């Protein structure tokens, strides 16, 4: 079986070969246009370009470049999805808690009770921001490697008393590779030994020039424990989000990504899903990775049952047949037969990946109906 060349893939995607080569280079795969690439790389590339791979059965595989992109007039503004990254003990959890705590309105009975791996806060102007709790560095790069770009903005937390550490640098590299804009939160500025200016200087060595140093990466001094600088940080997020002009079509079948999943003794398999476009509703039939199901109930980050969830909303979904993996695509389909078909196909691909030493044939992957 023949592997696919960059040229052939470009033709099928309706993109320029040179653009594919450029994207591959950025992904760390330097190849020329006549060289072949493996299936995983091809898949990643296709998703990178916002196209989709249609896989219903092995014989019916096609790249769909027409229906995937939502027409401009269907797009509506959506909240930014933010991930906090940084070295261990630099205050990621404290900062997430502080932001969450600050946003709990005094009148809101019970506050936030549910841990679903993501939460939303409402800003004074009523706009929302979604924070992802889970993706640590590994989850973040794993999700990205599988083509799931769930984050719009990364907040890099650096403790002002410790400076840049190995996981800080790792986070910087992941963020750069993902092409996601960064906001630097210089934390623990309440400590007497805090040296925020030193952090800014250290960042320069990694080509991160913060605004304070004349660059365009926003930096905000915060103290997660003293709860200072949080408003400024939220403002920085809002500003960055405005620049990104984040939009999605809410009026279509929902698509998203599994953020985390588990087996609950009483309620069965549960998944927290970040809806990325469309609106997810109770009763929708879906495929999540190699598992399928029908949405029995949805629970938001405040532990409330909800009937629908639009773009950038994290929800816990009940009604799965099995526990999917973090990073799995979540797709609403028209009926249960179709859901089983897609799930079975994905399962087959997964099994094959596990059992065959040789790479899965790219020819199968991109075979079209002749």
Binding residue count for Mg ion, defined by CB under 5 A: 2
Binding residue count for ligand GDP, defined by CB under 6 A: 15
User: Is 231 labeled as ligand-binding?
Assistant: no
Residue 88 CB, nearest approach to ligand GDP (Å): 5
User: Is 256 labeled as ligand-binding?
Assistant: no
Q: Which of 41, 120, 218, 223 binds ligand GDP (CB under 6 A)?
A: 223
User: Is 187 labeled as ligand-binding?
Assistant: yes
For residue 89, the partner it binds in ligand GDP, Mg ion, none, with Cβ less than 5 to 8 A by kind, is ligand GDP
Measured from the CB atom, the residue of 55 and 90 that comes closer to ligand GDP is: 90
Q: Which of 54, 57, 93, 305 binds ligand GDP (CB under 6 A)?
A: 93
SS3 sequence, the chain?
A: CCCEEHHHHHHHHCCCHHHHHHHHHHCCCCCCCCCEECHHHHHHHHHHCCCEEEEEECCEEEEECCCCCCCHHHCEECCCEEEEEECCCCCHHHHHHHHHHHHCCCCCCCCCCCCCCEEEEECCCCCEEEEECCCCHHHHHHHHHCCCCCCCEEEEEEECCCCCCHHHHHHHHHHHHHCCCEEEEEECCCCCCCCHHHHHHHHHCCCCCEHHHCCCECEEECECCCCECHHHHHHHHHHHHHHHCCEECCCCECEEEEEEEEEECCCEEEEEEEEEECEEECCCEEEECCEEEEEEEEECCCCCEECEECCCCEEEEEEECCCCCCCCEEEEECCHHHHHHHHHHHHHHHHHHHHCCCCCCHHHHHCCCC
Question: Quick one: which segment of 92-100, 106-114, 133-141, 308-316 binds Mg ion (CB under 5 A)?
Answer: 92-100
User: Is 134 labeled as ligand-binding?
Assistant: yes
Q: Locate 120 and state its tokens.
A: 């939303």
94 binds ligand GDP (CB under 6 A): yes
93 binds Mg ion (CB under 5 A): yes
Q: 146 to 205, contacts with ligand GDP by CB under 6 A?
A: 187-188, 190-191
325 binds ligand GDP (CB under 6 A): no
Q: Which of 89, 138, 351, 363 binds ligand GDP (CB under 6 A)?
A: 89
User: Is 137 labeled as ligand-binding?
Assistant: yes
Which residue sits closest to Mg ion, CB atoms considered? 93
62 binds ligand GDP (CB under 6 A): no
Q: 255 to 294, contacts with ligand GDP by CB under 6 A?
A: none
Q: Which of 80, 91, 163, 324 binds ligand GDP (CB under 6 A)?
A: 91
Q: Which residues of the chain form contacts with Mg ion (CB under 5 A)?
A: 92-93
Question: Which residues are part of a known binding site?
Answer: 86-93, 133-137, 187-190
Q: Which residues of the chain form contacts with ligand GDP (CB under 6 A)?
A: 86, 88-94, 187-188, 190-191, 223-225
């Amino acid at each position: 079986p023949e592997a696919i060349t960059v040229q052939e893939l470009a033709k099928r995607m309706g993109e320029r070969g040179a653009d594919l080569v450029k994207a591959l280079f950025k992904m760390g795969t330097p190849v020329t246009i006549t060289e072949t690439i493996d299936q995983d790389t091809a898949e990643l590339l296709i998703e990178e370009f916002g196209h989709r791979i249609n896989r219903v059965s092995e014989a019916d595989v096609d790249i769909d470049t027409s229906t995937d992109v939502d027409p401009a007039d269907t797009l509506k503004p959506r909240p930014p999805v933010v991930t906090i990254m940084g070295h261990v003990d630099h205050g990621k959890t404290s900062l997430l808690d502080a932001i969450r705590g600050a946003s709990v309105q005094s009148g809101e009975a019970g506050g936030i009770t549910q841990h679903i791996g993501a939460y939303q806060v409402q800003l004074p102007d009523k706009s929302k921001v979604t924070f992802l709790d889970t993706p640590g560095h590994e989850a973040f790069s794993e999700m990205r490697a599988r083509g799931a770009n769930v984050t719009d903005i990364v907040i890099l937390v650096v403790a002002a008393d410790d400076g840049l550490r190995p996981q800080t640098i790792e986070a910087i590299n992941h963020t750069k590779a993902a092409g996601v804009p960064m906001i630097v939160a210089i934390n623990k500025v309440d400590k007497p030994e805090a040296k925020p200016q030193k952090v800014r200087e250290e960042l320069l060595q990694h080509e991160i020039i913060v605004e304070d140093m004349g660059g365009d990466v926003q930096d905000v001094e915060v103290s997660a424990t003293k709860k200072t600088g949080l408003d400024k940080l939220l403002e920085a997020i809002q500003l960055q989000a405005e620049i990104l002009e984040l939009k999605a079509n809410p009026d279509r079948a929902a698509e998203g990504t599994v953020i985390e999943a588990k087996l609950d003794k009483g309620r069965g398999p549960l998944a927290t899903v970040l809806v990325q476009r469309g609106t997810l509703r109770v009763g929708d039939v879906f495929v999540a990775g190699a598992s399928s199901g029908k949405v029995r109930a949805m629970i938001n980050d405040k532990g409330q049952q909800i009937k629908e969830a639009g773009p950038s909303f994290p929800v816990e979904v009940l009604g799965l047949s099995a526990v999917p993996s973090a990073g799995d695509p979540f797709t609403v389909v028209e009926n249960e037969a179709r859901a089983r078909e897609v799930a079975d196909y994905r399962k087959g691909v997964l099994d094959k990946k596990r059992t065959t030493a040789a790479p899965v044939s790219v020819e199968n992957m991109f075979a079209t109906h002749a």
